[in-house]
Structure 1
Amino acid sequence: MLRQDSNDDTEDVSLFDADDEMSRRPKRSKIKHPIASFFHLFFRVSAIIVYLLCELFSNSYIACMVTIILLLSCDFWAVKNVTGRLMVGLRWWNQVDDDGKSHWVFEARKAQGKKATSEAESRIFWLGLIACPLLWVIFAFSALFSFKVKWLAIVIMGVALQGANLYGYIRCKVGSRKNLTSVATSYLGRQLLRQTVAKEDQAVS
């Protein structure tokens, strides 16, 4: 079953629900979608490697730029349309209604039985989704401060495409009515309550 989250109808889901679910269900560490997991990292990591090493193997800026843009575009499409849905049960897109108004839609599939997402796949998904945009941000500052203006356009595209997927999936997971501060505060409160109860149980026993 899918939970739909748009600008008009939103249901909040905590980014840290996986920790609570682990205490209620057995761990699922098996990778159920190895091909999707591979391509989730392949295109984005390849784009970073080409950016770092292209000047060592080619003097053609155009060839390097086209290769990186193709890899970034393939990564954006694959993560947005395939890997997010298979690996973590999330998807987002934009749709236009009959009145011509644009709506952003964010959905999250509720874990049910065998359809529950794999813990290992979830870690791979979020690690790749968060780490790579951060690297592109670092590359942006590096290109700016080293006056490599010709690379700045490529780096900005990397930040924009991978940052868009990161933002979209965080919206899918968290929901639009909660900001990350309130989610983190709620999570820390639950963890503190759990530790307090555990200490009381140990003292009684």
Structure 2
Amino acid sequence: MDRQDSRESPLFGEEEENFKVKKSTIRHPVASFFHLFFRTSAILVYLLSDIFSSRFIACMVTIILLLSCDFWTVKNVSGRLLVGLRWWNQVDDDGKSRWVFESKKSSRINSTSTAESQIFWLGLTACPIVWIIFMFSTIFSFNIRWLAVVIMGLVLQWANLYGYVRCKVGEKSNLGNLAKNYLGAQIFKQALKETGRS
């Protein structure tokens, strides 16, 4: 590929270094909007499906389409633009599947704004919690016909959350070990505080 072609569309993390961003501004309002639009629309259609339509199949298809659009948008657009993270699955020449988790280089991380980062992580973490609540409510209310839709919502939302958390903490990190190390550090700090009081 000619270098001149790559200037027209910069590679991941090769944005202009001279670009200064105010931390509270939203540089990508369309990406921020659609990051929240599809996921909240799916939740609203699920909650209001009995009020607006008694047709289960139409509501189910609408929710699954909204969840699919959300998955694609978050994975391919808003994660890259809002927080500088991306992940994907790559199949090698020998047929082995390999997951790739990337983040922008630390020297260029200042190009992301705090407001966009907060929007991204709030939407990414809050919606799977809502789908977990929906799952328990469908199980306890014996509303089994909605269980497949709720599981689909939970799986798609959880996949993006898992992928971006892996991008944030690093590809090589084991999330279980990271959690153990964090809890161990917190227990150690608490023990030091307790011995300091004695």
User: TM-score under structure 1 normalisation?
Assistant: 0.75
Secondary structure of residue in 2 paired with 1:76? helix
Residue number in structure 2 paired with 1:98: 93
Deviation (angstroms), 1:110: 2.1
Residue number in structure 1 paired with 2:135: 140
CA contact (8 A) 1:111 1:117 kept: no
Distance 1:167 1:113, change over 3 A: closer
Secondary structure of residue in 2 paired with 1:112? helix
Residue number in structure 2 paired with 1:177: 173
The answer as to 2:158 corresponding to 1:163 is yes
Q: Which runs of 5+ in 1 are unaligned?
A: 4-25, 193-205
Counterpart among 115, 123, 134 of residue 128 in structure 1: 123
CA contact (8 A) 2:127 2:157 kept: yes
Query: Given residue 46 of structure 2, which amino acid in structure 1 is its aligned partner?
Result: Y
Distance 1:165 1:184, change over 3 A: same
Residue number in structure 2 paired with 1:117: 112
Q: Which runs of 5+ in 2 are unaligned?
A: 1-10, 14-20, 190-198
Residue number in structure 1 paired with 2:43: 48
Residue number in structure 2 paired with 1:154: 149
Secondary structure of residue in 2 paired with 1:85? helix
Residue number in structure 1 paired with 2:4: none
Matched length: 169
Query: Given residue 28 of structure 2, which amino acid in structure 1 is its aligned partner?
Result: H
Larger relative contact order (Cα-Cα within 8 Å, sequence gap ≥ 6): 1
Secondary structure of residue in 1 paired with 2:102? strand
The answer as to 2:62 corresponding to 1:62 is no
CA contact (8 A) 2:84 2:109 kept: no
Q: Distance in 2 between matches of 1:181 and 1:63?
A: 41
Counterpart among 12, 24, 32 of residue 29 in structure 1: 24
Q: Distance in 2 between matches of 1:106 and 1:142?
A: 34
Any idea what the Cα deviations from partners look like across 1:58-97, whole Å, max 9, x if unmatched?
0100000000000000000000000000000000000111
Q: Distance in 2 between matches of 1:83 and 1:169?
A: 11
Residue number in structure 2 paired with 1:7: none
Distance 1:186 1:27, change over 3 A: farther
Distance 1:167 1:36, change over 3 A: same
Query: Given residue 34 of structure 1, which amino acid in structure 2 is its aligned partner?
Result: P
Secondary structure of residue in 1 paired with 2:100? strand
Q: Distance in 2 between matches of 1:69 and 1:132?
A: 15
Distance 1:30 1:111, change over 3 A: farther
Deviation (angstroms), 1:177: 1.8
